[in-house]
Amino acid sequence: MTVRLAMLFGGRSGEHDVSRRSAESILAHLDRDTYDVTEVLIERDGQWRVNGDRATFAQALRTLGDQDVVFPALHGPYGEDGIVQSMLEWLGVAFVGNGVFASAAGMDKPVTKKLLVADGLRVAAGVTLRPDEELSSRDRERLGLPVFVKPARAGSSLGVSKVEQWAQLPAALRLARESDAKVLVERAVRGREIDVGVLQHPDGRVEAGPPLEIRVANASFFDYDAKYDGGAVFDIPAQLDSGTTRLLQDRAVQAFHALGCRGLLRVDFFLPDPEADHGTEWTGDHREPVINEVNTFPGFTAASQYPQIWQRAGVGYSALLDILIQGALQRRDTAFPCPSPC
């Protein structure tokens, strides 16, 4: 039986192009004998297109509601932050990936940090600045240099700066606030940058993939250009001892549950340099990995970490899509056992 699937992509955020590239890769790997695909594009200005034709919002909603499952390949605000997920929940249609709460919480970096810390996980020290707030002298002393300045609710490293002198802070804040008025200033963690992908199977089993280490050749950190223009090298699996690998995988699954995730998650860690001073906020074992960020819908482009992690684990791109789609359909059948929304 053919599954009616809508590929939802584009969006109004600064990650519109990344979303289109993710969708392009997904569409290229979907089995067209299994899936009857409808392409639903959200333009940068919020206009909708269905299979290339302009559509009203009402027409787009009807199209989405008529599907068996929606695959929202959206990144950033107005797509990955719970807004679209809320709409799909209201339509009563199955959709791939995280629900409203996990999407909203995972998009907001300070909120994510609070939830992770409440579950006993380690994060870097940071300060949240709201509009017109500046970093106090006390917080400057506590955080030290260097720091990273990040929009609180944006992805793909858009608007992120590394500040190595306090004189650079005003410009970094201005750049971050171009993406979000709420900004996170975070102590830099010296150490290895490791990503772990988490995948939930249709039977509910949650699995962490092999750790991936990021090595950046020509940038001071893993910025937008390094992510999408080939400026980084991924080592999969990362060269780690078995105990450290298990620890990272366990912490990634713990983060998945702490945020109430479903379907998938990518957890970005720093494995601290044991000789580095990471401050006094953490009172536990300083070998404990530091969670940098989470991504509730990681990139699915050809250059993206998440598909590569699972490819290395023996789950090909097409098989990965099948797992995510079947999981969404399974959750939908459990929530709505009747043929239409009850």
- Residue 156 assigned ligand-binding role: yes
Say which amino acid occupies 110: P
DSSP per-residue letters across 99-166:
-HHHHHHHHSHHHHHHHHHHTT--B--EEEE-TT----HHHHHHH-SSEEEEETT--TTTT-EEESSG
Which one of 22, 161, 179, 304 is the catalytic residue? 304
* Burial label, 72 (beta-carbon count in 10 A; 0-12, 13-18, 19+): buried
- Residue 191 assigned ligand-binding role: yes
- Residue 189 assigned ligand-binding role: yes
The residues with which 162 forms a beta bridge, in sequence order, are 148
- Residue 292 assigned ligand-binding role: yes
- Residue 54 assigned ligand-binding role: no
Does the annotation mark 304 as catalytic? yes
Which one of 25, 156, 161, 179 is the catalytic residue? 156
End-to-end CA distance of the chain: give it in Å, rounded. 23
Length of the chain: 342
Question: Cα separation of 270 and 13, whole Å?
Answer: 27
> What number of other Cβ atoms are within 10 A of residue 153's Cβ?
22
Which one of 15, 25, 161, 179 is the catalytic residue? 15
Three-state secondary-structure class, residue 129: strand
- Residue 114 assigned ligand-binding role: no
- Residue 187 assigned ligand-binding role: yes
- Residue 340 assigned ligand-binding role: no
Nearest partner of 272 among 305, 234, 244, judged by Cα: 244
Query: What's the number of CA atoms in the CB half-sphere (13 Å) around residue 246?
Result: 3
Q: Which residue has the tokens 């969670």?
A: 291
The residues with which 7 forms a beta bridge, in sequence order, are 39, 71
Does the annotation mark 156 as catalytic? yes
Q: What's the longest Cα–Cα distance across the chain?
A: 64
- Residue 190 assigned ligand-binding role: yes
Q: CA geometry: angle at 103 spanning 97 and 108, to 5°?
A: 150
* Cis previous bond, 272, omega within 30: no
Element (H, E) at 58: helix 57-65
Q: Is the dihedral of CA 7, 78, 319, 20 positive or negative?
A: positive
Element (H, E) at 105: helix 100-107
Give binding residues for Mg(2+) as ranges: 268, 293, 295
- Active-site residues, by number, are 15, 156, 304
- Residues annotated as binding site for ATP? 109, 148-150, 156-157, 186-193, 292-293
Residue numbering of the annotated binding site: 109, 148-150, 156-157, 186-193, 268, 292-293, 295
